[in-house]
A and B are shown apart, each in its own frame.
Chain A
Amino acid sequence: MKTKKHWFGMTALALMFAIGSAGAKESQVLVTVGNLQVTADELKSAMGSSPFATQSVALGEDDQASLRGDLLRRLVAARLLMLEAKRLGLDKTAGNVKDIEDFRNGLLYRFYMDKLRERVAIPEATLSAMKQQFKNDADGLAAARSAYTTDQYRAMRLLTLQNLQKQDNVRLFESRINPAIKADTVLMEGNSFSIKYADIVNSREYPTLPNPEWVKEQLYKRGELLLVAHVAEREGVDVSAKVRQYQSERLPDLMMEKKAHEWIPNEKTLRNWFKQHPEVAVVTERRHVGQLVLATRPEAEAMRARILKGESLFTLAGEYSVDAEGKAKNGDMGWITAGRGLPELDKALARLPDGQVSEIVQTPVGFHLLTIIERKPGQHKTFADVRERVRQLIINEKLPPYLGTLEHRYKVNWQVLQGREEAKSVDALNTAKSVAK
């Protein structure tokens, strides 16, 4: 059975060959999952919108390929979850249908209003005056243009809404907003839509009538949204592609919510897991370490004497350290977690007071002189402190085997790996493993 690292490495290596130059074949299908596809275009878009988008551009080719492999794996997982969500009918629940409808109306409304704003033109004379006033001040000119456009748009929007209300024969029944109101009480009605009390006020959240002014505000907002969305749709605005995209992102989330609820049905599950994994609450001490490494003990003794007389360990490390990385960083080794690194050094650091230079420590690398600049002591956190982390760790533990069962149910075809003899050779596999590390 392939290991996770092996698997990522294969993907990363193949991606380096397949779309290393920012996706030469933009619409190339990388993976099929059941009847769904993941394309190079989509992967590129995912790279661009990921939290690593800025850093990824500055990475080397190998690291970029590794990151692409990881993201591709995530996209495949999302497809699997989407297919499973559909199989279980999560796309047809009342909550999801309403969610999608709200999203669709929001898109139609925004599209219509954006078009309205685009129609605002600044008269030539006004624009010239602005340019004169903000000569050599691009930000000032942009702000003046924006302020003018916003004012004009506001007036145009008001006028448009009034016209649309007349055209759709919109009637408002504000007097019905009283303590006797019922879920199906109609509060606004036009030829193309109607709004009931239940559409704007959640009875579970508000069992009795909340502030009537707030209800009116919700009513006006909803009315404007539905009216404009209806007109946009009538005028042929098509937002179906964006709605499908939203649905494809929403369904994996819904599936994960469902599974998380199954895996963690209550607080007791979290607490039991925490009891079985007490190490989660332990935060190990971290030390900001300075280091000077010499080739021989006499050299180290001489350097230690110089430091004790007042010379800087860091200045000397920048000049004499035989550790290339340490020398380049003037001896600043950054934050090191207790228990990691060479055991001899860890042992010496454990008993070294802050700000002092250590005795000479011998390791296979050489003869070390150490100092601790700053220390973040270890601590033992409470369950409340790590509750969310415990929840995430349980999900991390349960998710891979669950995805494995889904991969079994829906055929996953890694087209990006097919026909690549180089990826199949032992040498290439070894390279791939190192890439994935």
Chain B
Amino acid sequence: MSYCRLIPCLFFALLGMVQAEPLPANAWTIQPFSLPALDGTRHSLADWRGKVILLNFWASWCSSCQYEIRDLVAWQERYGDRGLQVVGIGMDIQQKLSNVKRSLEINYPVLVADPELQRDLITRWGNRDGTIPYTVVIDRNGRIVLNHRGLLDRDTFEEYVMPLIRQAANSADVRLVCK
């Protein structure tokens, strides 16, 4: 067996070891949603299947959310082409969400949660008390790596999200080498 074939095998074996550990939940086993985005399109989370997803719940009146959004925009800009996909879930009036999107130049999709169903939606994604900001980190296979209440700061991003981005990128590199 050539080294070229061995490397991806080792890589996926190691990945398998990580995956074999007890998982909090898998995103694709959670009841799916279909929500309108601010640009008028409609999306479900499965539209970004295979990417590293940051599902971020926020509202226009939440100052911590606004603070965090500036980082999310920067990360989407920097790592979007390496498989990162931030998805905002707006828990607020559509017009205000649109204003924030324009003011903060949000560069990722923002889906609007129906006010009647917001609580149910965020609970389904692991946050019973409904506090925001709240972010769910999902890896390429749908594994929920982190349910994070409060600001997702740079250290936490570095610790939990960057390895997933590197993993995706490394995996892509290996395939390229083996062509």
List chain A positions with a Cβ less than 8 A from chain B.
22, 53-61, 64, 131, 136, 138-139, 141-142, 145
Contact = CB atoms under 8 A, between A and B. Distances in A.
A64 B160 contact: no
Contact of A138 (B61, B63, B99, B160): B160
A142 B149 CA distance: 13
Interface in B131-179: 145-146, 148-150, 153, 155-156, 159-160
B61 A54 contact: yes
Contacts of A56: 103
Contacts of A54: 61-63, 66
Contacts, number: 43
A57 B100 contact: yes
Interface residues on B, range: 20 to 34
Interface in B91-110: 95-96, 99-100, 102-105
A64 B100 CA distance: 11
Contacts of A145: 155
Contact of A64 (B66, B103, B159): B103
B115 interface: no
A81 B145 CA distance: 55
A58 B96 contact: yes
A138 B96 contact: no
Nearest to A135: B21
Contact of B99 (A57, A131, A142): A57
Nearest to B145: A136
B60 interface: yes
Interface centre among B24, B99, B104 (most CB of A within 10 A): B99
25 contacts: A22-B105, A54-B61, A54-B63, A54-B66, A56-B103, A57-B66, A57-B100, A58-B60, A58-B96, A58-B99, A58-B100, A58-B103, A59-B103, A60-B95, A60-B99, A64-B103, A136-B24, A136-B145, A138-B146, A138-B148, A138-B159, A142-B153, A142-B155, A142-B156, A145-B155
Contact of A22 (B99, B103, B146): B103
A141 B66 CA distance: 24
Contact of A141 (B24, B61, B145, B159): B159
A136 B99 contact: no
Contacts of B103: 22, 56-59, 64
A136 B155 contact: no
Contact of A139 (B62, B95, B96, B150): B150
A219 B92 CA distance: 54
B139 to A, nearest CB: 12
B61 A58 contact: yes
For the complex, would chain A's binding face be called helix, strand, loop or mixed by DSSP majority?
Answer: helix
A60 B102 CA distance: 9
Contacts of B96: 58
Given A58-B60, A59-B99, A61-B102, 14 more contacts: A22-B103, A54-B62, A55-B61, A56-B103, A57-B66, A57-B103, A58-B96, A58-B99, A136-B24, A136-B145, A136-B146, A139-B150, A142-B156, A145-B155
A60 B93 CA distance: 13
A52 to B, nearest CB: 11
Contacts of A142: 153, 155-156
A58 B153 CA distance: 22
Contacts of B150: 139
Contacts of B145: 136
A136 B160 CA distance: 8
Contacts of B62: 54
A131 B99 CA distance: 39
A138 B156 contact: yes
A60 B61 CA distance: 14
B110 to A, nearest CB: 13
A61 B100 CA distance: 11
Interface string B71-107: 0000000000000000000000001100110111100
Given A22-B105, A138-B148, A57 B160 contact: no
A350 to B, nearest CB: 34
A132 to B, nearest CB: 12
A79 to B, nearest CB: 26
A255 B123 CA distance: 54
A56 B150 CA distance: 22
A53 B156 contact: no
Contacts of B99: 57-60
A61 to B, nearest CB: 8
A46 to B, nearest CB: 15
Interface string B44-70: 000000000000000011110010000
A182 B159 CA distance: 58
Interface in B2-61: 24, 60-61
Contacts of A59: 99, 103
Nearest to B23: A136
B60 A57 contact: yes
